[in-house]
Chains A and B, each alone.
Chain A
């Protein structure tokens, strides 16, 4: 078993990498072939303390190859993915298999763009439709079908899509669901140039998206009856909506350095497993206001989402699988090691919150600013669940299933705090430009129960320092130090990481995350990591050895679980 997996991984990777060189930027007539390749593999070592379980094949890896052909307005491409023995976190979310799951042909000119095959698309802020990929998270929600984009007049953009959403490596054949939609946008500044000349931005847009999914079974659920005890309730097959529509309207207004964006979306009744099969319509509101001038910027945003989880299949509740839309997590995202596990994940069915960020640069050549200025960033965000009052029928049945569910007061914050972050970051370069220092403080409150499924709240203070020193023009050192102080969850941790780089090719680093405050003495573990990378133009080869803590990985408010692991990793990416 072990040797089979190694052999097949090796073979697949070699084949893919081989074709990279084979195709390497070929010119065919006026056309051009380009592409990219990626491999991410690991040799796993069991470790009972951190909870790294023995895995059936110790050597695992993800590999893919993109090939793109373009010739004037025509382009075509395909991606082959080999995830037969994927990294264990990908196996856990069901991203396992192999094949060409992405291919397309596209023709674009000034007025029209036609795509057949797989494509990624987003309407507005993505409240109704966002077909996208995130390779790190194992998300690929591309649509397989057709798309037309029209620009009938400068500043007017119309899009129409039809497609079946990709579901990991499961076959498209036999699927009984599809998505279709259309979006129109009018950019008045382009239509009437005088608006733009006067410094105004004015844009409106609207869209409608509809998903079809065949309904072929009754939905059964429990009802608590006062006299009969538990009885079975039924949503008959013909009462389950086969078509679920969403629509959204958006507007952007701006004048000089000020800008306001607003989008409102509404979803028709969509009983599904994530909302306990209720018939209540969903809605979402996203507001964002920004003001920016040289050396100063302020951005405030607000979001409310109620029952807006929108998937191709009503029984799907795994991660981001088959998600049609994306309700953005608007909090500031950090890359600090110690709070990675406490990154806020967007809650499309129930969240209300706001975010404020202020950037200020103490001017260059001033006393406090020094020669290169000092950057200060302040951040505040707070998210709650929404207010929910069960409808009388739901109270009577002891379940919301099959009813209108609940009513919700629009601007009222719900009883549960989900996430709060107060942060300050100062970045300064010293006069000889050799030293650069970033110092940050964050106070984070994170609802473990709702966001991770284990009891309690995590309240923690993080202090982080990131110091860079340029030894010579090509040699540089970077030292990261972090301390998370908390009495909750796994307790306090310290982290130190030293990186040495030789520009432009070499990177070396050594780091340790010590969970010294773990309430269980046996788990006061050192999660160390040693890494080195070689970069040559667009090729990067990296090796690392160490332990990874069990936790969550978030990219842009979308998160997935990461199991504990210990071992040797290799990653290769290249493009041509």
Chain B
């Protein structure tokens, strides 16, 4: 038992060193998956872009309280963020058939200015290897994923903004 564990540990350590190297060289881009716009038109995730400016992607659902808390917190600052950095936030809902019809009224009711998309079959969620929502990632101007995070604690939106500002400065 101990031997097996030691072998595995050594293997993983050596692999992870290689993995780290690879990570630095190539930043991952978004997978190309068909999802929908709010009016039900098919939308491919490779078309998520913002003319060379950073993009925030949030995976959320109308039944997910921390997701909503996070999007609400950003909504307060969003106008300023856009003005200063030109950032664009895509709020991709993983609500399925039961609740997806309620996404549009929900979003409008909250007065959110985000670009809202629907991933009703969780295809994008799977392709992004996301276990649970809330999930957020940031893309740089070249569409590369520079930061990822799951769950939400009040205040973490500050970190998001710092990263976006640093991307724009570059």
Contacts and interface: CB of A to CB of B under 8 A. Distances in A.
A372 B132 contact: no
A203 B19 CA distance: 46
Contacts of B41: 187, 189-190
Q: Number of contact residues on A: which range applies?
A: 35 or more
Contacts of B120: 122
Contacts of A330: 98
Contact of A252 (B13, B40, B108, B154): B40
A539 B18 CA distance: 20
A476 interface: yes
A537 B148 contact: yes
A201 B28 CA distance: 35
Given A11-B1, A290-B104, A298-B105, A501 B153 contact: yes
Contacts of A26: 18-19, 22
A125 B97 contact: yes
Contacts of A32: 26, 28
A59 to B, nearest CB: 15
A573 B97 CA distance: 26
A502 interface: yes
B158 interface: yes
Q: Number of contact residues on B: which range applies?
A: 35 or more
Given A357-B102, A503-B153, A504-B153, A36 B129 contact: yes
Contact of B155 (A151, A254, A333, A476): A476
A294 B110 CA distance: 8
Contact of A68 (B4, B98, B129, B153): B129
Contact of B23 (A25, A290, A540): A25
Nearest to B5: A14
B98 A329 contact: yes
Contacts of A35: 129
Contacts of A357: 102, 105
B150 A21 contact: no
Given A34-B28, A372-B76, A361 B150 contact: no
B101 A25 contact: no
Contact of A132 (B13, B122, B150): B122
A151 B130 CA distance: 27
A295 B150 contact: no
B39 interface: yes
Interface string B8-19: 110111011011
Interface string A129-165: 0101101000000000000000100000100000000
B131 A504 contact: no
Contacts of B8: 14-15, 18
A215 interface: no
Contact of A25 (B28, B98, B108, B127): B28
Interface string A544-576: 000000000000110000000000000001011
Q: A-side binding surface: helix, strand, loop or mixed? A: strand
Contacts of A21: 12-13, 15-16, 19
A512 interface: no
B15 A359 contact: no
Q: Which of B99, B108, B153, B155 has the most CB of A within 10 A?
A: B153
Contacts of B122: 120, 132-133
Nearest to A336: B65
B42 interface: yes
B40 to A, nearest CB: 6
Contact of A299 (B4, B39, B102): B102
A291 interface: yes
Given A22-B15, A187-B40, A504-B149, A299 B105 contact: yes
A254 to B, nearest CB: 6
Contact of B16 (A24, A298, A377, A503): A24
Contacts of B115: none
A516 interface: no
A27 B23 CA distance: 8
B31 interface: yes
Contact of A23 (B19, B26, B63, B99): B19
A521 to B, nearest CB: 34
Q: Name the 10 nearest CB pairs between A and B, nearest first.
A: A297-B105, A359-B109, A503-B155, A24-B19, A22-B15, A292-B108, A476-B154, A297-B109, A501-B153, A504-B156
12 contacts: A24-B15, A32-B26, A32-B28, A66-B129, A122-B121, A151-B42, A468-B69, A474-B158, A476-B153, A504-B155, A537-B147, A573-B132
Interface of A: 7, 11, 14-15, 17-19, 21-27, 32, 34-36, 38, 66, 68, 70, 73, 75, 108, 120-122, 124-126, 130, 132-133, 135, 151, 157, 187, 189-190, 201, 203, 252, 254, 257, 259, 261, 288, 290-299, 301, 326, 328-330, 333, 335, 357, 359-361, 364, 372-373, 375, 377, 433, 436, 468, 470, 472-476, 478, 501-507, 533, 535, 537-540, 556-557, 573, 575-576
Interface of B: 1, 4-5, 8-9, 11-13, 15-16, 18-20, 22-23, 25-26, 28, 31-32, 39-42, 63, 65, 69, 76, 96-99, 101-102, 104-111, 120-123, 126-132, 135, 147-151, 153-156, 158-159
Given A122-B121, A502-B153, A573-B150, 7 more contacts: A19-B12, A36-B129, A120-B121, A295-B108, A297-B105, A360-B109, A503-B156
